[in-house]
């Protein structure tokens, strides 16, 4: 009984500088957990929103359950994120600063419960993205040079 990733937001690290990360429970209805276990979750265009001292997950797509019926859930409904009061207070203060937003980075199972890792993020400019890509390529070349040298 460890943790297992169900969905991962690959574009989050590319489009944002990820500052602080928080683990939150997700309030789910009906067959949503079964759909997540089937791998039908997508966090690509989703984001978090603070409203009235609560945190919500918007635009997270959880596809309908394959063996469901007419009572299946709505795929992109707004879901409440379950956090401690102190974490909500910290998020509210930081998320209201100019340029910051809440981005879900991954959806995973921890001891049988669905958890969402939400990050406080600041948007990247195009030149930031190019710099990150350049640094990643340089690191990759350095690792391969070291591996070649060790093989000789």
Task: Specify whether the CB–CB gap between 116 and 26 falls below 8 A.
Answer: yes
Residue 120: per-residue pLDDT = 92
**Residue 2 binned pLDDT confidence (cut-offs 50, 70, 90):** low
Residue 83: per-residue pLDDT = 94
Greater model confidence, 126 or 105:
105
Domains of the chain, each with CATH number or no CATH = 3-124 (2.40.280.10)
Residue 79: per-residue pLDDT = 93
Residue 57: per-residue pLDDT = 93
- Encode pLDDT of 32-83 as tens digits: 888 888 888 999 889 999 999 899 999 999 988 877 676 777 788 899 999 9
**Residue 1 binned pLDDT confidence (cut-offs 50, 70, 90):** low
**Residue 3 binned pLDDT confidence (cut-offs 50, 70, 90):** low
Residue 142 three-state SS: helix
- Encode pLDDT of 109-145 as tens digits: 998 899 999 999 988 888 888 888 899 899 999 999 9
Number of Cα atoms under 13 Å in the Cβ half of residue 136: 8
Distance between CA atoms of residues 117 and 22, nearest Å: 6
pTM metric for this prediction: 0.78
Residues 6+ apart with CB under 8 A from 28: 36, 79, 114
Residue 117: per-residue pLDDT = 94
């Amino acid at each position: 009984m460890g943790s297992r990733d169900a969905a991962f937001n690959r574009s989050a690290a590319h489009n944002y500088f990820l500052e602080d990360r928080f683990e939150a429970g997700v309030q789910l209805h009906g067959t949503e957990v079964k759909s997540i276990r089937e791998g039908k979750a997508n966090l690509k265009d989703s984001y978090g929103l603070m409203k009235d001292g609560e945190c919500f997950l918007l635009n997270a797509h959880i596809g309908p359950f394959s063996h469901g019926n007419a009572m299946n859930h709505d795929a992109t409904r707004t879901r409440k994120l379950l956090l401690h009061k102190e974490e909500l207070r910290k998020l509210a203060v930081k998320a209201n600063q100019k340029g910051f937003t809440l981005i879900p980075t991954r959806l995973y199972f921890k001891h049988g419960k669905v958890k969402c890792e939400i990050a406080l993020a600041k948007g990247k400019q195009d030149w930031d993205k190019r710099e990150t890509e350049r640094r990643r390529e340089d690191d990759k070349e350095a690792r391969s040079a070291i591996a070649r040298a060790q093989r000789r």
